[in-house]
Amino acid sequence: MHRKLLKRESGYTLVEVMVSIIVLTIAILPMAGMFDMGMTSATAGSNYDKARTLANLKMEEAKSLPFDSTDATKRDLKDNFPELAGTTTGYDGSGHYQSALKTVTGPASADFTGFQYRVDKQYMQQPTASSVQFDPSPSPTKKLIRVKVTVEWGDGNTFTTFGLAAE
């Protein structure tokens, strides 16, 4: 009796097993590509968030400094930001200053490995209803500076933010 039941039992043939393996392989390979694309997108988003955070930190640092302390040994926005106190930033003849690319130092440096920032300062004339103009004189009478922070990372990726500081 058991032999008759065993003969009637049908199992999977080798061909059916091979076909199912091929179908599963065809379904899983695109999923592996999706995981790779997801990781790449997550990394790109993370880098963008870090760049935005660094730019905002430097912008807030600029806004927190006194506009002009009139003391060369103290750090202020007009004379030495983003350089250290005691160092003077030099404006070109157009009332413009652009720092070299800088790396982050201090306690936060580990968070921004591979990121560099540049600060661009430019004097502005007080805006009117009809125009906004930059002031080309190196010692303007209007006390308004546009601060632009650009963060670079990776293969030429950048993030830029702008702000105004007034006396």
pTM here? 0.74
User: pLDDT truncated to tens, each residue of the chain (167 aa)?
Assistant: 566 666 666 777 889 899 999 999 998 888 888 888 999 999 999 999 999 999 999 999 999 999 888 887 888 888 888 888 778 787 777 778 889 999 998 888 889 999 999 999 988 776 666 666 665 655 555 578 899 999 999 888 999 999 988 87
Coil, helix or strand for 127? Answer: coil
| Buried residues in 19-46 as b, exposed as e (16+ CB within 10 A) | eeeeeeeeeeeeeeeeeeeeeeeeeeee
In the chain, domain spans: 9-166
Q: What angle do CA 151, 143, 70 make, to 5 degrees?
A: 90
